[in-house]
Amino acid sequence: MLRSQTKLFALGKRQLCRSMSKSCDLTLVEVDDKTGIATLTMNKPPVNSCNLEMMRALKDSMKQIEGNKSRGIILTSSNNKVFSSGLDLNELRNPEQERLVAFWKELQEMWLTLYLSNLPTAAAINGHALAVGCVMASACEYRVMLPGFTIGIHATKFGYVVPPFIVNSYLSVLPRPVVERALLQGKIFSTDEAQQINLIDEVANSKEEALSKCASFIGSFAEANPVARALTKRQLRAEFARTLLDEPEAELKESLEYITSPLFQDSLDAYLAKLKSKNKK
Ligand SMILES: CC/C=C\C/C=C\C/C=C\C/C=C/C(=O)SCCNC(=O)CCNC(=O)[C@H](O)C(C)(C)COP(=O)(O)OP(=O)(O)OC[C@H]1O[C@@H](n2cnc3c(N)ncnc32)[C@H](O)[C@@H]1OP(=O)(O)O
């Protein structure tokens, strides 16, 4: 801990906060003293899957960054192969009702916090970004991805119905016919394919380059009044956030019914078994 703090100061960066779990820091926040840009790093081994605690940590870190008058947020991963593997599937399997309610509410709140952030947001996608991993990247205003990875929402492939706010994440980045085809096919895109359809804005050859491109994007708002920018962004994005802003309980109820249905639980069992068996071969 001390060693990494020393390194951060040497780089001219301030460590703003760490969200702690029992055994590790789920998120790390560093603020560049020169640019005022905060880097929010997902740090939940092995694959940054989003369980309740991880989503709470992400939401709290974003709120803390906003409260500290940073100039922007770059979302990235400490794992150089996986940006995020999406929702933690163990949270969905035979869930205990109270925890499932808390988990789904946290997903709603985390998404709203990122999607409607007052600050410019960018994702340095330095690994695979699957399902909610892709949703988080799509909720940012700008995306830079490294080559050789994959990104997409493959929910329909394994029996998930995609909730409306997740559809809207895609719709705020991609044209409707592209969204429709991608979601119905459960399409996972390579970095090159993602660039071709403008799911990502740029490709970078290293994490450092990706962070630097994200910082340049955030820097492009230097002349904009931050309050006017934030309110205009909210106005532009409010329509897609409407379901969750106005009727979070209805969305929650629908999702819980679906998640606890035998249809969903059976396909989840099969999917998890396939995922685990990959490592036993
Ligand atoms: C009206 C309808 C309402 C509601 C519908 C309800 C729900 C639908 C909602 C939203 C849509 C879905 C959202 C999601 O985010 S679901 C998550 C989907 N994610 C995935 O399918 C990713 C699966 N993982 C992978 O493909 C690979 O792990 C990955 C490419 C990310 C990395 O590969 P790598 O070879 O580096 O690692 P692995 O050996 O595969 O994994 C290590 C370890 O981690 C476990 N693992 C991986 N991903 C998850 C996960 N998402 N949740 C839990 N656990 C995960 C994996 O099994 C390995 O475990 P072990 O074998 O024990 O070491």
pLDDT digits (tens, 9 = 90+) for 258-278: 999 998 999 999 999 999 897
Is the bond preceding 46 in cis, omega lying within 30 degrees of 0? yes
Phi, psi torsion values for 27, nearest 5 degrees: -135, 150
Q: Supply 27's token pair.
A: 């998120």
SS3 109: helix
Number of folded domains that form the chain: 1
Tell whether the model's pLDDT for residue 20 goes beyond 70. no
State the residue range of the domain holding 153.
Answer: 2-278
Q: Supply 74's token pair.
A: 């770059």
Distance 149 CA to ligand 1 centre (A): 15
CA–CA separation, 117 and 113 (whole Å):
6
Phi, psi torsion values for 18, nearest 5 degrees: -135, 130
Report the CATH number at residue 199: 3.90.226.10
Report pTM: 0.93
Q: Which of 133, 114, 270 is nearest to 200 (CA)?
A: 133
**102-136 tens-digit pLDDT:** 999 999 999 999 999 999 999 999 999 999 999 99
- Binding pocket residue ranges, ligand 1, CB within 6 Å: 46-47, 49, 81-82, 85-90, 128, 130-132, 155, 160-163, 166, 254-255, 258-259, 275-276, 278-279
Distance 250 CA to ligand 1 centre (A): 26
Helix axes 132-139, 97-115, angle to 10 degrees: 30
Binning pLDDT at 50, 70 and 90, where does residue 144 land? very high
Tell whether the model's pLDDT for residue 7 goes beyond 60. no
SS3 143: strand
Q: What is the ipTM of this complex?
A: 0.95
> Do strands 82-84 and 128-130 pair parallel, antiparallel, or not at all (unpaired)?
parallel
Choose the residue to mutate in 85, 256, 258 for probing ligand 1, maximizing ligand atoms within 8 Å of C-beta: 85
Give the DSSP H or E segment for 176.
helix 176-185
